[in-house]
Amino acid sequence: MSSTNRGYQRHKSDYYVTPQKAIRRFFRDLEEDEFGIFDNSFILDPCAGGDKTHEMSYPTVIDEEYKYRRLETIDIREDSRANTIADYRTLNVGKVFGENPDVIITNPPFKIALPIIKKGLNDVKEGGFVIMLLRLNFFGSQKRFKFWRKKMPKYCFVHHKRMSFTDKGGTDSIEYCHMVWQKGNSKEFGKIKVI
């Protein structure tokens, strides 16, 4: 997920390696409000990424930091390290995995982020969480306005430092945030924190 022509070329599959340092920082702040969110949970990363030279970012950090009950990974890319190669948008998660997840977390391709979020909110268990790394300007757009009126995230953690999605450390012109929804918690506003 990157602003094109502003620091590096767009990856042909819209795949960007999420920096693990930024994930760890976000997890520390999220735990202040939702302590133990990942412990004893079924966690699903539906756009897990990873390739020959890169780990899957969220699963790697979760493996190192938490005691979870189950972690499953999906990705549409054939070269991904995910357990399941499939298009999450068409997958019956409950049928494939035998249960629905407690937490769905990922960095979705920007152009299909909204369908991924909507499906995540449908797939996650009641009271469960959907967590997405998104551009801060995802809040904008007439197309998503109706969605925001009904599905505002519970939390928005804005990263104060621009992220690098490249091995060379270059950044683009976009600010990023982790948006966190909790199924069953639909309010007209959410909590925002700059981290």
pLDDT at residue 141 in the model: 85
In a domain, 176, yes or no: yes
pLDDT at residue 109 in the model: 92
In a domain, 96, yes or no: yes
pLDDT at residue 68 in the model: 86
Give me the domain span that covers residue 71: 20-194
In a domain, 7, yes or no: no
- Amino acid identity at 26: F
In a domain, 15, yes or no: no
Q: In angstroms, what CA-CA distances link 38 with 2, 15, 57, 194?
A: 27, 25, 15, 22
In a domain, 116, yes or no: yes
**Domain count for the chain:** 1
What is the spatial order of strands in the sheet that 70-75 belongs to?
A: 84-85, 70-75, 42-45, 103-106, 129-135, 176-182, 155-158, 191-194
**How buried is residue 13: exposed, middle or buried, by Cβ count under 10 Å (0-12/13-18/19+)?**
middle
CATH of the domain at 119: 3.40.50.150
In a domain, 110, yes or no: yes
Tens of each residue's pLDDT in the chain, 195 residues: 444 444 434 444 456 889 999 999 999 999 999 999 999 999 999 999 999 999 999 999 999 999 888 999 999 999 999 999 999 999 999 999 999 999 999 999 989 999 999 999 999 999 999 999 999 999 998 889 999 999 999 999 999 987 767 666 666 778 999 999 999 988 888 999 999
In a domain, 14, yes or no: no
pLDDT at residue 163 in the model: 78
- Amino acid identity at 28: R
In a domain, 53, yes or no: yes
The H or E element containing residue 129 is strand 129-135
